[in-house]
Amino acid sequence: MNRYDSRGPDWGTESHSQTFATTRLAGSGGRISRWGVRRRRVRRWWRRNRRRLRRIARRTVQAITPLGWFVLAATLSAGVFALRMHWVEAAVTAVIGGVIFLLALPFLFGSRTYLVRISVDRARVVAGRSITTRIDIENSSVRPTLPATAELPLGDALRKIPVPLIAPRASTEISTEIRTHSRGVIEIGPLTLARRDPLGLLQRDLTWRDRHRVHVHPPTALLPPNSAGLVRDLEGSASRRLTDSDLSFHAVREYVPGDQMRHVHWKSTAKTGTLMVRQYEESQTARAAILFDAHRGEYQGEEEFELGVSAAASLSLQTVHEGRERFIASAWTPGRQLPSVDGLEELPSLTATQLMDSWSELEGAEDAPRIEWLTRALAESRRPLSVVTIVTGSVPELSRLRRAVTSFPPHVNVRVVRCELMAEPAADLLDGSLFLTVGALGDLPLLLTRGGVL
């Protein structure tokens, strides 16, 4: 077995290269006493083996459990009393304690010959579904290994898995099912094999490096087409803003110094006798922005917060599928990275998988800016936006949300998705903006269809 195989145990990072040298010293007359030679040999041996001895001593101390320390102290105390005071009872106690420790030693042997590999059937899963973890354990020695208990970390949980007796040069496969109850990232591994005697006096743990990371995506809803952006024209839909150069012709006007001569309308110039130029309506494509309120104080509980995450993930996933220009942002999540200048944290959305992984890693912020501040920062960021969707909880009042909507210019279509657990779905048009109340994730497609009619 290769000592540094990826399936082998984690031996640490110590160096195993050594250099040996011999130096001859001579005293008076070139003669060296036997005691001096032995002392130098002891020093050399100690320099060569001190790290190994310290490592063995550290492992020996770690192998004794609290109960083992108590039994060891009682055994040594009984031995001292038996030698000093000649107590027969103390001698019997010392002998029994020593025999118990000797019988416990064989239960710690054999784990170093294991080759362990952990594999999962999928690296990404939707919350509520299960993943299967398979542990392949191979005995690479010529002797059988005793049964043991393996400890496998699964995120914040720890699952104990019994390992049976494995014959020489044989292997076994252990499968375990993991139920994903909520969105997040699950760290699987590293596997730790614990060997202990039946009385619990000695215990030895050996850890393998193999580990995996599973992203648990939030549940999403299938939205109707063109629901992520209200602009349905592939080349852009004409807006009310006038410009000197675009695709949608609006009218002609008199020439102003600085206008380009290629926009001169010669027929109108001939009729009026005045130099006239073309004027266009500015076209806009669906540049969608989805702003998620990650402040946990704006939600009535963890379930409502997860409902907001699922709603925002559904809307953002639709923009990726439709191939629209997008900006998906949230408040700063502590522990992931430093906050940006404007407080908006853009989620990577190059592909659908990358986007959903970002939603899996997102954490709620306890000290995040208010939704009014975030919308103002997004409006002042000078990003070319045509559709903005704000996703928040049930705590913000309607007056606050209406103030947040006024941060955007009139040519930007703004929608507010207010997540309130188990509430009646509703769609209202206020101040030219669409306000949706979502009580369950299944309400979102119906409300978006209804909102397109309003």
> Cα separations (Å) of 87 from 34, 92, 101, 207, 392?
44, 9, 21, 45, 78
Q: Which domains does the chain have, with CATH numbers?
A: 35-108 (no CATH), 111-217 (2.60.40.10), 238-284 (no CATH), 287-453 (3.40.50.410)
385-414 pLDDT tens trace: 888 999 999 999 999 999 999 999 888 889
Name the band, by pLDDT with cuts 50, 70 and 90, for residue 248: low
CB 276 within 8 A of CB 264: yes
Q: If you average pLDDT over residues 120-133, what whole number do you get?
A: 92
Residue 160 has pLDDT above 60, yes or no: yes
Residue written as tokens 């509980």?
301
Q: Give the C-alpha separation, 150 to 154, whole Å.
A: 13
Residue 349 has pLDDT above 50, yes or no: yes
Long-range contacts (CB closer than 8 Å, 24 or more residues apart) made by 151-160: 151/191, 151/192, 151/193, 151/194, 152/118, 152/176, 152/188, 152/189, 152/191, 152/192, 153/187, 153/188, 153/189, 153/190, 154/178, 154/186, 154/187, 154/188, 155/184, 155/185, 155/186, 155/187
pLDDT at 2: 47
- What b/e readout covers 358-370, taking b as 16+ CB neighbours within 10 angstroms? bbbebebbeebbb
User: 172 pairs with which residues across the strands?
Assistant: 137
CB 181 within 8 A of CB 127: yes
pLDDT at 332: 65
Of the candidates 220, 133, 223, 151, the one whose C-alpha atom is nearest the C-alpha of residue 183 is: 220
Find which of 49-58, 81-90, 380-389, 396-405 is predicted with most confidence, using mean pLDDT.
396-405
CB 446 within 8 A of CB 222: no
Q: If you average pLDDT over residues 159-184, what whole number do you get?
A: 90
Tell me which of 40-49, 121-130, 441-450 is least confident.
40-49
26-39 pLDDT tens trace: 444 445 577 878 88
CB 234 within 8 A of CB 290: no
Name the band, by pLDDT with cuts 50, 70 and 90, for residue 149: confident
CA–centroid distance for 119 within its chain: 18
pLDDT at 426: 92
CB atoms within 10 A of CB 390: 26
Q: Give the C-alpha separation, 91 to 134, whole Å.
A: 51
Name the band, by pLDDT with cuts 50, 70 and 90, for residue 19: very low
Query: Which tokens is 177 given?
Result: 């099912």
Q: What average pLDDT does the chain have?
A: 81
Helix (H, G, I), strand (E, B) or coil at 38: helix
Segments of 361-425 assigned E as strands: 387-392, 413-419
* Residue of higher predicted confidence among 231 and 282: 282
Query: Which tokens is 91 given?
Result: 């001698």
303-335 pLDDT tens trace: 999 999 999 999 999 988 888 778 888 876 555
| 323 torsion bin: left (phi>0), alpha (psi -120 to 50), beta (else) | left
Name the band, by pLDDT with cuts 50, 70 and 90, for residue 216: very high
* Residue of higher predicted confidence among 243 and 440: 440
Query: Which tokens is 385 given?
Result: 């936006």
CB 116 within 8 A of CB 149: no
How many residues are listed for the chain in this entry? Answer: 454
Q: If you average pLDDT over residues 416-425, what whole number do you get?
A: 93
CB atoms within 10 A of CB 329: 21
